[in-house]
Protein backbone atom coordinates (compact mmCIF):
# COMPACT_ATOMS: atom_id res chain seq x y z
CA UNK A 1 0.00 0.00 0.00
CA UNK A 2 1.30 3.44 -0.92
CA UNK A 3 0.71 6.27 1.55
CA UNK A 4 0.49 9.65 -0.16
CA UNK A 5 2.74 12.42 1.16
CA UNK A 6 -0.08 14.80 0.17
CA UNK A 7 -2.79 14.97 2.87
CA UNK A 8 -6.54 15.64 2.72
CA UNK A 9 -8.25 18.40 4.70
CA UNK A 10 -11.83 17.35 5.59
CA UNK A 11 -13.15 20.61 4.07
CA UNK A 12 -11.60 20.22 0.63
CA UNK A 13 -12.03 18.13 -2.49
CA UNK A 14 -8.62 16.91 -3.63
CA UNK A 15 -7.37 14.59 -6.35
CA UNK A 16 -4.82 11.81 -5.90
CA UNK A 17 -2.98 10.45 -8.95
CA UNK A 18 -1.86 6.85 -9.49
CA UNK A 19 0.66 5.94 -12.20
CA UNK A 20 0.14 2.55 -13.86
CA UNK A 21 2.94 2.83 -16.43
CA UNK A 22 4.89 -0.08 -14.97
CA UNK A 23 1.85 -2.36 -15.38
CA UNK A 24 0.97 -1.45 -18.98
CA UNK A 25 2.45 -3.11 -22.03
CA UNK A 26 3.44 -1.18 -25.14
CA UNK A 27 0.32 0.21 -26.84
CA UNK A 28 -1.95 -0.83 -23.97
CA UNK A 29 -4.26 1.73 -22.37
CA UNK A 30 -6.56 1.93 -19.35
CA UNK A 31 -10.08 0.94 -20.42
CA UNK A 32 -11.85 1.40 -17.06
CA UNK A 33 -11.11 2.45 -13.50
CA UNK A 34 -12.96 1.80 -10.21
CA UNK A 35 -12.10 3.25 -6.81
CA UNK A 36 -13.47 1.69 -3.60
CA UNK A 37 -12.87 2.51 0.06
CA UNK A 38 -11.37 -0.14 2.33
CA UNK A 39 -11.46 2.25 5.30
CA UNK A 40 -13.33 5.48 4.60
CA UNK A 41 -12.21 7.15 7.87
CA UNK A 42 -15.27 9.39 7.59
CA UNK A 43 -14.47 10.45 4.01
CA UNK A 44 -17.18 10.20 1.39
CA UNK A 45 -16.95 7.72 -1.45
CA UNK A 46 -14.58 8.91 -4.11
CA UNK A 47 -16.16 11.91 -5.79
CA UNK A 48 -14.86 10.71 -9.14
CA UNK A 49 -12.32 8.39 -10.66
CA UNK A 50 -10.90 9.04 -14.11
CA UNK A 51 -8.22 7.61 -16.36
CA UNK A 52 -5.80 9.20 -18.80
CA UNK A 53 -3.25 6.50 -19.64
CA UNK A 54 -0.94 5.80 -17.84
CA UNK A 55 -2.51 7.66 -14.89
CA UNK A 56 -5.72 7.39 -12.94
CA UNK A 57 -7.05 10.13 -10.71
CA UNK A 58 -9.29 9.70 -7.65
CA UNK A 59 -11.05 12.70 -6.13
CA UNK A 60 -11.70 12.50 -2.36
CA UNK A 61 -13.49 14.73 0.14
CA UNK A 62 -14.37 14.78 3.85
CA UNK A 63 -12.95 12.52 6.52
CA UNK A 64 -12.09 12.59 10.22
CA UNK A 65 -8.96 14.57 11.09
CA UNK A 66 -6.23 12.35 12.52
CA UNK A 67 -7.30 9.23 10.63
CA UNK A 68 -6.29 7.61 7.34
CA UNK A 69 -8.58 6.89 4.41
CA UNK A 70 -7.59 3.72 2.59
CA UNK A 71 -8.93 2.94 -0.86
CA UNK A 72 -8.24 0.60 -3.74
CA UNK A 73 -8.03 1.48 -7.40
CA UNK A 74 -8.81 -1.26 -9.92
CA UNK A 75 -8.04 -0.82 -13.59
CA UNK A 76 -8.92 -2.93 -16.56
CA UNK A 77 -6.63 -2.48 -19.56
CA UNK A 78 -7.38 -2.53 -23.28
CA UNK A 79 -5.64 -5.93 -23.25
CA UNK A 80 -8.35 -7.18 -20.81
CA UNK A 81 -5.91 -7.41 -17.90
CA UNK A 82 -6.93 -6.26 -14.38
CA UNK A 83 -4.71 -4.65 -11.75
CA UNK A 84 -5.58 -3.42 -8.27
CA UNK A 85 -3.53 -1.34 -5.81
CA UNK A 86 -4.27 0.07 -2.33
CA UNK A 87 -3.56 3.67 -1.34
CA UNK A 88 -3.71 5.59 1.93
CA UNK A 89 -4.36 9.29 2.52
CA UNK A 90 -3.82 10.89 5.93
CA UNK A 91 -6.61 13.28 6.87
CA UNK A 92 -5.27 16.43 8.51
CA UNK A 93 -7.19 19.52 9.58
CA UNK A 94 -5.03 22.27 8.04
CA UNK A 95 -6.70 25.05 10.03
CA UNK A 96 -6.04 23.31 13.35
CA UNK A 97 -4.35 25.60 15.85
CA UNK A 98 -2.75 24.04 18.90
CA UNK A 99 -4.32 25.33 22.11
CA UNK A 100 -2.32 27.86 24.08
CA UNK A 101 -0.21 26.58 26.92
CA UNK A 102 -2.18 26.60 30.17
CA UNK A 103 -0.81 28.03 33.41
CA UNK A 104 -0.43 24.50 34.80
CA UNK A 105 1.49 23.38 31.69
CA UNK A 106 3.73 26.49 31.78
CA UNK A 107 4.59 26.00 35.45
CA UNK A 108 5.22 22.28 34.94
CA UNK A 109 7.59 23.11 32.06
CA UNK A 110 9.41 25.79 34.09
CA UNK A 111 9.86 23.39 37.03
CA UNK A 112 11.39 20.80 34.69
CA UNK A 113 13.75 23.45 33.25
CA UNK A 114 14.76 24.61 36.74
CA UNK A 115 15.43 21.03 37.83
CA UNK A 116 17.58 20.48 34.73
CA UNK A 117 19.56 23.64 35.56
CA UNK A 118 19.91 22.44 39.18
CA UNK A 119 21.38 19.17 37.91
CA UNK A 120 23.92 21.07 35.79
CA UNK A 121 24.97 23.23 38.75
CA UNK A 122 25.15 20.26 41.11
CA UNK A 123 27.37 18.27 38.71
CA UNK A 124 29.61 21.24 37.86
CA UNK A 125 28.55 21.38 34.22
CA UNK A 126 27.10 24.91 34.32
CA UNK A 127 29.02 27.49 32.28
CA UNK A 128 30.09 30.79 33.78
CA UNK A 129 32.28 32.42 31.08
CA UNK A 130 31.79 32.15 27.33
CA UNK A 131 34.29 33.55 24.84
CA UNK A 132 32.97 34.64 21.45
CA UNK A 133 34.87 36.66 18.83
CA UNK A 134 37.49 37.62 21.38
CA UNK A 135 34.89 38.92 23.85
CA UNK A 136 34.07 37.43 27.19
CA UNK A 137 30.43 37.00 28.10
CA UNK A 138 29.75 36.32 31.78
CA UNK A 139 26.67 34.30 32.54
CA UNK A 140 25.28 34.36 36.05
CA UNK A 141 24.86 30.87 37.46
CA UNK A 142 22.47 30.59 40.40
CA UNK A 143 23.55 28.68 43.47
CA UNK A 144 21.90 25.41 44.44
CA UNK A 145 20.11 27.22 47.26
CA UNK A 146 18.70 29.81 44.82
CA UNK A 147 17.54 27.07 42.46
CA UNK A 148 15.92 25.13 45.31
CA UNK A 149 14.07 28.28 46.43
CA UNK A 150 12.96 28.97 42.84
CA UNK A 151 11.70 25.39 42.39
CA UNK A 152 9.76 25.58 45.68
CA UNK A 153 8.22 28.88 44.55
CA UNK A 154 7.20 27.38 41.18
CA UNK A 155 5.77 24.30 42.89
CA UNK A 156 3.66 26.55 45.14
CA UNK A 157 2.42 28.48 42.09
CA UNK A 158 1.70 25.18 40.33
CA UNK A 159 -0.33 23.97 43.31
CA UNK A 160 -2.38 27.21 43.25
CA UNK A 161 -2.86 26.96 39.46
CA UNK A 162 -4.00 23.34 39.74
CA UNK A 163 -6.58 24.31 42.38
CA UNK A 164 -7.77 27.20 40.20
CA UNK A 165 -8.04 24.82 37.20
CA UNK A 166 -10.06 22.32 39.22
CA UNK A 167 -7.39 19.63 39.14
CA UNK A 168 -7.61 17.27 42.09
CA UNK A 169 -4.38 17.65 44.04
CA UNK A 170 -3.23 16.54 47.44
CA UNK A 171 -1.08 19.01 49.34
CA UNK A 172 2.49 17.95 49.96
CA UNK A 173 3.76 18.14 53.49
CA UNK A 174 7.30 18.86 54.43
CA UNK A 175 9.46 16.09 55.80
CA UNK A 176 9.28 15.49 59.51
CA UNK A 177 12.59 15.56 61.40
CA UNK A 178 12.98 12.61 63.73
CA UNK A 179 15.28 12.71 66.72
CA UNK A 180 16.17 9.83 68.96
CA UNK A 181 16.89 10.38 72.60
CA UNK A 182 18.70 7.87 74.71
Is the domain of 110 the same as that of 78?
no
- Tell me if 156 is assigned to some domain: yes
Is the domain of 84 the same as that of 131?
no
Instruction: Determine the pLDDT at residue 122.
Output: 84
Residue range of the domain that includes 32: 2-90
Domain count, the chain: 2
Is the domain of 112 the same as that of 152?
yes
Instruction: Determine the pLDDT at residue 96.
Output: 62
Is the domain of 80 the same as that of 109?
no
CA 138, chain centre distance (Å): 38
What is residue 163's three-state secondary structure?
helix
Closest CA to 113 of 151, 149, 141: 151
pLDDT in tens, 58-96: 888 888 888 888 888 999 999 999 999 989 899 988 876
- pTM attached to this predicted model: 0.50
Amino acid sequence: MEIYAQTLDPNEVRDFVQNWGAHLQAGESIASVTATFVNAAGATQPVAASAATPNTRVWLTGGNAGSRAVFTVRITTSGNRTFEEAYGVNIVESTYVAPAETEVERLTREIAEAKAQRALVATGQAVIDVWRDGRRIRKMIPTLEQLEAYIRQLQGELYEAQIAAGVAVTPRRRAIDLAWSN
